[in-house]
Structure 1
């Protein structure tokens, strides 16, 4: 397992995010927990598209759907799509417009810095 730790620094979160400032560290911690527990691989399909392969457990899907729905409500520029291509696999696609590639860069960094090493 990597000994790199994701920071709770939210300086990369754009002003377009309407989540109250006090809640941002909590939301980052929720993403870190999901990434740490469930991310199996991360593929950057384009500068504006990140695909995460997640553990296929039902609870992971429930958590991912809840978290991404809440995130979409405050950061409307983030587009999330969760799919189950097989019984044991789950994918989380994250897309952003060109103006927010830096946000996707930061999410990709967080996902890979805390992911479970298989």
Structure 2
């Protein structure tokens, strides 16, 4: 990652079932995906985030695996991974009551320079 972002877990919702000791590790996994693969961050609406990723089998697998594990502890997330026409996009949606979580995720993704 080209820019160091302080680890702030204050935005983790009470609905998250991931053990507290594992939360910093999960944030680091998202940071690694952002640093390695994100080319563009788009926020088409307050409850939806679009991450345009470097299209490769490795990044698709990394994004899919991370999204599946995250959905296991924070079931309010809706992840959609799209591979089409040489592009790889991870969309993340949340209900309005969890928009602050999406805000924090978007800020972390924006904090890295494009891959």
Task: Give the TM-score category using the shorter length.
Answer: over 0.9
Query: For the residues of structure 1 that align with 2:29 and 2:112, how far apart are their CA atoms?
Result: 12
Specify every segment of 5 or more residues in structure 2 that has no aligned partner in the other structure, as ranges: none
Residue 24 of structure 1 is matched in structure 2 by: 23
Which residue of structure 1 lines up, in the alignment, with residue 66 of structure 2? 67
Aligned residue in 1 for 2:105: 107
CA contact under 8 A between 1:48 and 1:101: conserved in structure 2?
A: yes
3-state secondary structure, aligned to 1:56:
coil
CA RMSD after TM alignment: 1.4
Equivalent residue, structure 2, for 1:98: 96
TM-aligned CA distance change 1:115 to 1:68, over 3 Å: farther
Which SS does the other structure have where 2:80 is aligned? Answer: strand
Deviation at 1:8, TM superposition (A): 1.7
Partner Cα distance (1:6, 1:73) in 2 = 25
What do residues 12-60 of structure 1 show as CA deviations (whole Å, max 9, x unaligned)?
Answer: 1111110000000000000000000000001101000000000001100
Q: How far did residue 4 of structure 1 move?
A: 3.7
Q: Secondary structure at the match of 1:114?
A: coil
> Could you tell me how far 1:6 is from its partner in structure 2?
1.9
Normalised by the length of structure 1, the TM-score is 0.92
Deviation at 1:5, TM superposition (A): 2.0
SS state at 1:42 partner: strand
Structure 1 alignment gaps of length 5 or more: none
For residues 81-104 of structure 1, the C-alpha deviation after alignment (integer angstroms, 9 at most, x for no partner) is 0001222x1000000000000000
